[in-house]
Structure 1
Amino acid sequence: MSYKNSILMGTIGGYRDRFHQFQPDRSFAERLDIARTIPRTHGIEPVYPQDLGADGSATKAVKDSGLAVSAVNVNVKTEGKFKDGSFTSPDAGLRRESVQYLKTAMDLAADLGSEMITVCPLIDGWDYAFQVDHIQQWRWMIEAFEEAAAHRGDIKICIEYKAYESKNHIILPTMGRTLHFCDRVGAANLGVTMDVGHALIAGESPGSEIAVAAEAGRLFYIHFNDNDRGADWDMLPASVHLWETLETLHYMRRIGYDGWVAYDVFTRTGDNAEAISATFEIMENLDRLLDKIGDGHLQDLIKCGQPQRSYNDLIRALL
């Protein structure tokens, strides 16, 4: 394992759905204390502005914790003012404010010793046909990220794409469209956060998308979790898609990925800090399984192109 483990700070805080609250709300200071106790933790992914404060006042607490920062997560979706969009809001003032969120987060990331911010534009999209002007939305997105990327070239902007939620259709729903968007913007510091769960609900093969993004020079960051492809359940890695998760790790090895991996894993039952600790152990065990199979053997199986042989060999490795 050559990558570094990071905790999304929301995963050790409150967790609720439309019906119940499953985990207690915790202050940022409480979550920092918990993160420090979880073995194998190399860093954290705090949220701007909810964790770090609109003025960045909580950066001192992060520094005092001794925890590295993998990326600053920019939240431009949950505040009420963003209900009609952030970077594509019909309100020009809100579009400017959304871009300023990115710029401020970039400055905070640099201050915290990180080289990245990550943003998931979940509120930018549409629900119905003829609800939005698709031409105008696309132009607004390009203009927003052109401005943000030019703010400082030493900080990478990672776009975390997703097919749906909060809108029925999100403007950047897939790896292919997101890579096309990055090329349209044209900034070298603009790339992708590849969330395994988001790739799954988009009908993608995560290992394939990693290969494509790496070839484009745009793979900056990875989030791991799992789901049943029906919704973004943020389950333990490989709990549903064992083979796809192994293939994803295999291609991370193939491309020599040694950056940050963050875990977007929530649990309804039990302790959520324990779930993150178990996640780290699961990933280590998956790496051991790849070692047991052997990279060379995997390459031979890929070259043979015969699934009946490949899966028999892989299953033998599990015995």
Structure 2
Amino acid sequence: MSKLTFGAGIWHFATYVDRYATDGYGPAKSLIEMIDLAGKVRDLSVVDINAPWSADVSVDEVEVALKRNNLSVIGITPEIYNREFSKGAFTNPDAGIRRRANEVCNDAANLVRRFGASYVKLWPGQDGWDYPFQVDHKQLWRHSIEGIGELASQNPDLKFVIEYKPREPRVHMSYGSMARTLLGIEAMGVPNVGVLLDFGHALFGGESPADSAQLAIDHGRLFGMDVNDNLRAWDDDMVAGTVHPIELFEFFYTLRKNNWEGVWQLDQFPFREDCVEAADMAIDFLKHIDASLDRLDWDALAAAQNRQDAMGAQKIARQALFGF
């Protein structure tokens, strides 16, 4: 049995819609059906759940479904990125909508307490701007900082994580990089806000995920992480390890080097693939990465890095991961 804890966003088991297949890539699924699908994945033990969900599903029913599938909740992700917040959640020009975003997030905080989860995950996807001259950048950034800072101060017993992303749905998102997110968190001046590092978002933003992880760890702010993959031009949310296995290996090498412990969480969107198979495939590769870290010649790698010996370091990493 793996010593690791594997998780997934419950949306991994949803039915997806895009601007072409507006009727979706399959029949709609209820939250309970998604939880039951998650329960079919080998080694999956925790899920991140969006809220609010459909009013015809009670919290008690969700708890029963989780228990039936031997699952627990790692986080609650408030939906502050839908049509209601199309001009922003924390950065909306309407103060009433900003207050509404605060209410939705506080409701999510109460669910975190109810489920005994680890954090409220904030993905303010509509916070940002699209066109030159559209916003007052100083005011927008102030709203970004104050909105989350206020929320964290209202709930000092909980952790809040910001999942940054360069763009989509906004052309420029307020929290668009690791460095910018860390700057914002430091300006908040609260201890209970950190970063959820999405491997694919770092790739998409032109970052090295390993470097971004190290930066967050050095600032004591890496509270969580998601893994997936993409072709760097977009947030494709493909199966982890299918495109950038060596960079995924370096990412987890960095986490282990720093003794970072947390859930190895999937954030994948299998539009056309079987969702259970996609999760199993990703977790199998993550387990292989963990075993490869056990095989890695750490001393030889450190010596190669001290020389900045790129080919030597590659040979050591490849031997551990691929066996040649």
C-alpha displacement of 1:81: 1.8
Work out whether 1:246 is the aligned partner of 2:249.
Answer: yes
C-alpha displacement of 1:17: 2.1
Question: Counterparts of 1:54-73 in structure 2 under 5 Å?
Answer: 58-64=58-64, 65-66=66-67, 67-73=71-77
The aligned residue for residue 120 of structure 1 is 123
Distance in structure 2 (CA, Å) of the matches to 1:304 and 1:207? 19
Work out whether 1:75 is the aligned partner of 2:76.
Answer: no
Q: Deviations over 1:82-133 (max 9, x none)?
A: 1111111111100001011111111110110112010111101111110011
Work out whether 1:224 is the aligned partner of 2:227.
Answer: yes
The aligned residue for residue 87 of structure 1 is 90
Please list every run of 5 or more consecutive structure 1 residues that lacks an aligned counterpart in the other structure: none
**Deviates most, 258-267 or 242-251:** 258-267
Asked whether the 8 Å contact 2:300–2:316 carries over to 1, the reply is no
Asked whether the 8 Å contact 1:11–1:266 carries over to 2, the reply is yes
The aligned residue for residue 129 of structure 1 is 132
C-alpha displacement of 1:289: 2.0
* One-letter amino acid of the structure 1 residue matched with residue 295 of structure 2: K
In structure 2, the CA distance between the partners of 1:2 and 1:249, relative to structure 1 (3 Å rule), is farther
Please list every run of 5 or more consecutive structure 2 residues that lacks an aligned counterpart in the other structure: none
* TM-score, scaled to structure 1: 0.94
The aligned residue for residue 259 of structure 2 is 256
* TM-score, scaled to structure 2: 0.92
Work out whether 1:47 is the aligned partner of 2:34.
Answer: no
The aligned residue for residue 19 of structure 2 is 18
Q: RMSD of the TM alignment (CA)?
A: 1.7
For the residue of structure 1 that corresponds to 2:195, the secondary structure is strand
Q: Deviations over 1:263-287 (max 9, x none)?
A: 1112233311211111111100121
**Deviates most, 135-144 or 219-228:** 135-144
In structure 2, the CA distance between the partners of 1:240 and 1:50, relative to structure 1 (3 Å rule), is same
C-alpha displacement of 1:224: 0.3
The aligned residue for residue 172 of structure 1 is 175
2:204 pairs with one of 198, 201, 214: 201
For the residue of structure 2 that corresponds to 1:179, the secondary structure is helix
Distance in structure 2 (CA, Å) of the matches to 1:127 and 1:104? 29
C-alpha displacement of 1:3: 4.3
The aligned residue for residue 159 of structure 1 is 162
Asked whether the 8 Å contact 2:241–2:282 carries over to 1, the reply is no
In structure 2, the CA distance between the partners of 1:133 and 1:243, relative to structure 1 (3 Å rule), is same
Distance in structure 2 (CA, Å) of the matches to 1:15 and 1:214? 34
In structure 2, the CA distance between the partners of 1:293 and 1:96, relative to structure 1 (3 Å rule), is same
C-alpha displacement of 1:2: 5.3
* One-letter amino acid of the structure 2 residue matched with residue 173 of structure 1: G
C-alpha displacement of 1:235: 0.9
Distance in structure 2 (CA, Å) of the matches to 1:3 and 1:154? 26
Equivalences, count: 315
The aligned residue for residue 149 of structure 1 is 152
For the residue of structure 2 that corresponds to 1:106, the secondary structure is helix
2:103 pairs with one of 94, 100, 103: 100
Asked whether the 8 Å contact 2:108–2:120 carries over to 1, the reply is yes
